[in-house]
């Protein structure tokens, strides 16, 4: 089977699950993973045959894709901020919107003579703190999650990317360990659960049926549940001139701003993502 035939096979086989452009991207993503080639290189090799090993692996992935399982879980990895991260159903697949949040933090951070201290709340795969640690190697970076399985993945990712990040298990809604410690921070960041239960019908099946619900959903009656808890924590733990960053639900941009101001933050900025949706917030006291 040639490279071009492989791409055609993906489009045909996945026609009921993905549109043509999505199926083509999945084919390129899979081929790149197993063949170690960039997209332009794959295009140039269109009429050349895959070697037998790569063909077997690609067919295996295609069969798994037919079940709706995300390609990142099938391959066991995802790319984020130019880095490779292990992923499995214990953690969310890193999204481009979160890369934008990391870029904003980097843009805003003014590293003093003393190393910055950074905390990520609800770290999942560890993509946020690990990306920040690679950018600011002198920073003291910590992260927490309620899920032991997620923390296992995050620790593997820190080792994979050769950075030192402190990972801790705790619950921001009911702190009992690490979060009750004396540490204070220059930056606190979180991409917490923010999708209301009533929004489930808006999600694609591969997200709804495969990614961890505890990292996605909040009760309809309390859509800002985690933001309220984290904001209260940040007021106690942020250093002078420290910054709090959130990724948010586009539906609750104004409500998130009001919550932060009511908590006592005086400088609050809302930013849109590349799709023009309210997606990120920065707050300072």
Q: With beta carbons less than 8 A apart as the criterion, state whether 121 and 189 touch.
A: yes
Q: What is the pLDDT of residue 94?
A: 97
Reported as a pLDDT band with limits 50, 70 and 90, residue 285 is confident
Conformation bin of residue 56: beta by default, left when phi > 0, alpha when psi is -120 to 50: alpha
Q: Which pLDDT score is estimated for 114?
A: 63
Dihedral (CA of 11, 76, 188, 229) sign? positive
What is the tens place of the pLDDT at every residue in 141-155?
A: 999 999 999 999 999
- The distance in angstroms from the start CA to the end CA of the chain is 60
pLDDT at 281 over 80: yes
- Dump pLDDT digits (tens) for 10-59: 999 999 889 999 999 999 999 999 999 999 999 999 999 999 999 999 99
| Greater model confidence, 115 or 283 | 283
pLDDT at residue 112 is higher than 70:
no
pLDDT category at 177 given cuts 50, 70, 90 is confident
pLDDT number for residue 204: 85
Q: Is the pLDDT of residue 110 over 90?
A: no
**pLDDT at res. 58:** 97
Rg (CA), the chain: 20
Contact 121, 167 (CB under 8 A): no
The whole-chain average pLDDT of the chain stands at 94
Region 249-263: mean pLDDT is 97
Task: With a cut of 70, say whether residue 113 has pLDDT above it.
Answer: no
Lowest mean pLDDT among 116-130, 207-221, 267-281: 207-221
DSSP for the chain, written as a single string:
-BHHHHHHHHHHHTTTTS-HHHHHHHHHHHHHHHH---HHHHHHTTTSBPPHHHHHHHHHHHHHHTTT--HHHHHTEEEETTEEEE--TTSPPP-HHHHHHHHHHHHH----SSPPEEEEES-TTSHHHHHHHHH-TTSEEEEEES-HHHHHHHHHHHHHTT---EEEE--TTS--SGGGSS--EEEEEE----EEGGGGGGS-HHHHTTS-GGGTEE-TT-TTHHHHHHHHHHHHHEEEEEEEEEE--GGGHHHHHHHHHHHT--EEEEEE-TTS-EEEEEEE-
b/e 33-46 (16+ beta carbons within 10 angstroms → b): bbbebeeeebeebe
Q: What is the pTM of this model?
A: 0.93
Query: Do residues 145 and 151 touch, judged by C-beta distance below 8 A?
Result: yes
Confidence band for 74, pLDDT divided at 50, 70 and 90: very high
State how far the Cα of 210 lies from the Cα of 37, in Å rounded to an integer: 28
């Amino acid at each position: 089977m040639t490279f071009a035939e492989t791409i055609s096979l993906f489009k045909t086989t996945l026609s009921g699950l993905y549109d043509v452009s999505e199926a083509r991207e999945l084919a390129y993503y899979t081929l790149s993973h197993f063949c170690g080639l960039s997209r332009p290189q794959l295009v140039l090799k269109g009429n050349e045959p895959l070697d037998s090993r790569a063909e077997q692996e690609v067919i295996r992935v295609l069969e798994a894709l037919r079940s709706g399982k995300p390609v990142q879980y099938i391959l066991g990895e995802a790319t984020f901020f130019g880095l490779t991260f292990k992923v499995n159903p214990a953690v969310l697949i890193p999204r481009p919107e979160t890369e934008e949040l990391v870029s904003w933090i980097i843009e805003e951070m003014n590293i003093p003579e003393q190393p910055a201290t950074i905390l990520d709340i609800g770290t999942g795969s560890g993509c946020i703190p690990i990306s920040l640690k690679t950018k600011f190697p002198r920073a003291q970076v910590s992260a927490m999650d309620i899920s032991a399985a997620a923390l296992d993945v995050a620790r593997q990712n820190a080792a994979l990317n050769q950075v030192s990040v402190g990972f801790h298990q705790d619950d921001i809604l009911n702190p009992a360990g690490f979060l009750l410690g004396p540490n204070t921070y220059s930056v606190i960041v979180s991409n917490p659960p923010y999708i209301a239960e009533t929004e489930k019908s808006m999600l694609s099946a591969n997200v709804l049926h495969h990614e961890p619900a505890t990292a996605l959903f909040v009760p309809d009656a309390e859509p800002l549940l985690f933001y309220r808890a984290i904001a209260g924590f940040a007021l106690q733990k942020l250093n002078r001139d420290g910054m709090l960053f959130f990724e948010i639900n586009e539906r609750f941009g104004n409500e998130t701003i009001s919550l932060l101001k009511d908590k006592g933050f005086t400088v609050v900025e809302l930013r849109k993502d590349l799709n023009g949706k309210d997606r990120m917030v920065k707050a300072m006291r």
